[in-house]
Amino acid sequence: MNANGKPHRRTHTRQGDRTRRALGSALQPCSLQGLLVGLMLGTAACDATPDTYTHTHIHANRSTDTDIQNAGTAADSLAKAVQHYGFDVVSKLRFDRNNFTQGLEIHDGRLYVSSGLYGQSVIRVYTFPELELLHSVPVDPRIFAEGLTVIGDRLILLSWRERVMLVYSLPAMTLIGQSPLPGQGWGATHNGSVLWFSDGSDRLYSADLSADGELEVLPVTLASKPLRNLNELEWVGDEIWANVWQTDNIARINPETGIVEGLINLSGLLADEDRLRDTDVLNGIAINPEGGAIWVTGKRWPWLYQIRLENSPP
Ligand SMILES: [Ca+2]
């Protein structure tokens, strides 16, 4: 394990291969099209067939905080100006530190949280904003849960390296099937019938599940350079907001161009006295569809924060 709870990639390759075979052994092949059918008809139950997809390579380079904070300054006069934002905390809610938060979404008065790590992955469903726990659904211990999103009465959960998406039916949170994922899964969100997800690279992927489900790729740039480590996602207005892994920043991405048009700096959000030895990075963005409030948290953080943005100089 590295400091962020993810085992070293190289040492787990063979285990990942075995996991894929085992997970798919009793199911029929399908594609994103198959996922579409499953989502609409409730019959999604198919084998992941990762060999028919091009594996998405993860870039090793990290975007540094320095890169991000310098974006949009005179050093890159050719780039479109990036608006920088600070924040105010409007309110905060006590949150379960056991959530190694990978996905965060508010839907129909419920807060959906996916929590990662092998052998510990779980989806928790809470009333919102009371945060009474309604469901705690363990995920196959061979799967490292990543982002989630709710489309209609289906919840889609990504896996980190297992190359499957799991599909659950709401409100009972019944696992009804799985569908292939072309590479790693990190964050997920949606706009209408279009599923969006990240894989830790500088690219976002989208697939319209009401059409052919074909996968499209959107390179994301900050000041004309690739912005890597895109993690948890949220569709906000006409933008996609993305946590940038291992930073305190949220990127506001134009989903038409892939250009980062704004950066939210959440440094200092979690107070030092609230940090424990295993407290991890900022991750998790959810908009409340009722009123538009923005909520954020992190991995093993004790609070959900409602924030309000403030313009700030770069
Ligand atoms: Ca989200």
Q: Are 185 and 146 in contact (CB under 8 A)?
A: yes
Distance between Cα 78 and ligand 1 center (Å): 32
Distance between Cα 75 and ligand 1 center (Å): 32
Distance between Cα 8 and ligand 1 center (Å): 26
Give the per-residue pLDDT at 211. Answer: 82
Give the per-residue pLDDT at 212. Answer: 78
Distance between Cα 77 and ligand 1 center (Å): 32
Q: What is the pLDDT of residues 193-224, one digit of tens each?
A: 999 999 999 999 999 988 878 899 999 999 99
Give the per-residue pLDDT at 264. Answer: 98
Distance between Cα 67 and ligand 1 center (Å): 24
Q: Which CATH number characterizes residue 219's domain?
A: 2.40.128.630
What CA–CA distance (Å, rounded) separates 300 from 314?
A: 29
Q: One-letter amino acid identity for 16? A: G
What residue numbers bound the domain in which 200 lies? 10-54+63-312
244 within domain boundaries: yes
Distance between Cα 142 and ligand 1 center (Å): 23
153 within domain boundaries: yes
4 within domain boundaries: no
Give the per-residue pLDDT at 292. Answer: 97
Distance between Cα 286 and ligand 1 center (Å): 5
Full pLDDT tens readout for the chain, 314 residues: 444 454 444 333 334 344 443 444 334 445 555 554 455 445 444 443 333 333 333 333 445 566 666 665 544 444 568 999 999 999 999 999 999 999 999 999 999 999 999 999 999 999 999 999 999 999 999 999 999 999 999 999 999 999 999 999 999 999 999 988 989 999 999 999 999 999 999 999 999 988 878 899 999 999 999 999 999 999 999 999 999 999 999 999 999 999 999 999 999 999 999 999 999 999 999 999 999 999 999 999 999 999 999 988 76
Q: Are 301 and 263 in contact (CB under 8 A)?
A: no
276 within domain boundaries: yes
189 within domain boundaries: yes
**Could you tell me the pTM of the whole model?**
0.82
Tokens of 134: 């309604």
Give the per-residue pLDDT at 229. Answer: 98
Give the per-residue pLDDT at 296. Answer: 98
Q: One-letter amino acid identity for 180? A: P
Distance between Cα 233 and ligand 1 center (Å): 5
Distance between Cα 285 and ligand 1 center (Å): 5
* Number of domains composing the chain: 1
Distance between Cα 262 and ligand 1 center (Å): 17
What CA–CA distance (Å, rounded) separates 217 from 278?
A: 34
What CA–CA distance (Å, rounded) separates 298 from 280?
A: 7
Write 204-211 long-range contacts (CB < 8 A, 24+): 204/230, 204/233, 204/240, 204/242, 204/253, 204/255, 204/258, 206/255, 207/32, 209/32, 209/35, 209/36, 209/39, 209/40, 209/151, 210/36, 210/40
132 within domain boundaries: yes
What CA–CA distance (Å, rounded) separates 176 from 268?
A: 41
